[in-house]
Structures are given as structure tokens and as C-alpha cells.
Amino acid sequence: MEKTLILIKPNAVQRGLIGEIIARIERKGLHITGLKMMQLDDTILNEHYAHLSERSFFKILKDSMMVTPVVAMCVEGLDAVETVRLMVGATNARKALPGTIRGDLSMSGEQNVIHASDSVENAQAEVKRFFSENEIFSYESAITAFEYGGEERAKM
Ligand code: IDP
Ligand code: MG
């Protein structure tokens, strides 16, 4: 089953939004298969945000990600990467559509409450970056037949 990485950022931890964000993921029908709080450091952030290393806000962004621990989550589902990105909304939360996590919970393009992997390839690398193998759990869902149709289940 496709996996993706979510980080609940320090601004969401400070604002008491951990439960709200986790509840949205669960209500959607995505399955949480890894969940922990962790303190990020410069080493992991240099890797995680390598694509932004030349940007003016790189240091500010990294500092903002170390202010408190983050909540890291591995979630699974059919097309989980694309589905979670749609739920998260645009990077600049002021432009993120109402109904999305950023659109409903943030006013900022930087303090935008959540990270989610942006491609299947990056998701695989990011889950490995934040979780060791024994921190990802595999368990049977008792209600898959009520979450997906028959043709969809055949693809899983
Ligand atoms: P994403 O989080 O929507 O995938 P990325 O372009 O990968 O967006 O940027 C990673 C993070 O860097 C964003 O979530 C945001 O916190 C921060 N960021 C992106 N662009 C800007 C900017 O122009 N100013 C300040 N922070 C930014
Ligand atoms: Mg990104």
C-alpha cells in the first residue's frame, strides 16, 4: 500500500492543532502506520529541505522547524501521496482552498502547520528518513471493504 510522510510542524504543536490534524487524516480513511514526536536538528533538516538550500528563507525555515518537537506520521492508503497533498493545500496557506488543512488552519506561507511528501519517490525517501523499519507497523484493517470498492481493493 502507498505510504506518505506527514510532519505536524512546531507552529501547529504550539497552537494545539495536533489532534485536529490527526483527526482529519483518520476521518478521511487513511491508515496511520507510524506515529511519533521527535526533535529535529540541522542534519535532518539540511537533507529534508535540500531543495530549498539556496533560498533566502532556508535558515529561518530550519530554525522554525526546531522550535519544538514535531509529530511525524507515516500514513497509508490508495494514492496516499496525492490524496494527502490535496488535503494539505497550497504552500501559501492564504491561497490554500477552504476545506484543506492549510486553508482552514493557517494564514502563512511559512508557518503553514504541516509537511507532506510531494511525490511517491520522495515519500519513500522521507518515510525512511524519519522512521526506522521497526517503527512502521503493518496491521489488517477490519473495515477495508467499507472504505474502498472492489476494484480499488484489487489494486492495493
Ligand atoms: P510544501 O511544504 O508545500 O511542499 P516547499 O516548496 O517544499 O512547500 O517548501 C517547504 C516549506 O518551506 C514550506 O512548507 C514553507 O514552510 C517554507 N516555504 C516555502 N516557500 C517559502 C517562502 O517563500 N517564504 C518562507 N517560507 C517558505
Ligand atoms: Mg515540499
Q: What would the grid cell of residue 37 be?
A: 514526536
Residues comprising the chain, all counted: 156
Among all residues, which ones are annotated catalytic? 115
CA of 37 to the centre of ligand 2 (A): 20
- Check pocket membership of 62 for ligand 1, CB cut-off 6 A: no
pLDDT tens-digit profile, the chain (156 residues): 999 999 999 999 999 999 999 999 999 999 999 999 999 999 999 999 999 999 999 999 999 999 999 999 999 999 999 999 999 999 999 999 999 999 999 999 999 999 999 999 999 999 999 999 999 999 989 999 999 999 999 988
**pTM as predicted:** 0.97
Residue 19, pLDDT score: 98
The whole-number pLDDT of residue 65 equals 98
| SS3 per residue for the chain | CCEEEEEECHHHHHCCCHHHHHHHHHHHCCEEEEEEEECCCHHHHHHHCHHHCCCCCHHHHHHHCCCCCEEEEEEECCCHHHHHHHHHCCCCCCCCCECEHHHHHCCCCCCCCEEECCCHHHHHHHHHHHCCHHHCCCCCCCCHHHHCCHHHHHCC
Q: Distance, CA 129 to ligand 1 centroid (Å)?
A: 19
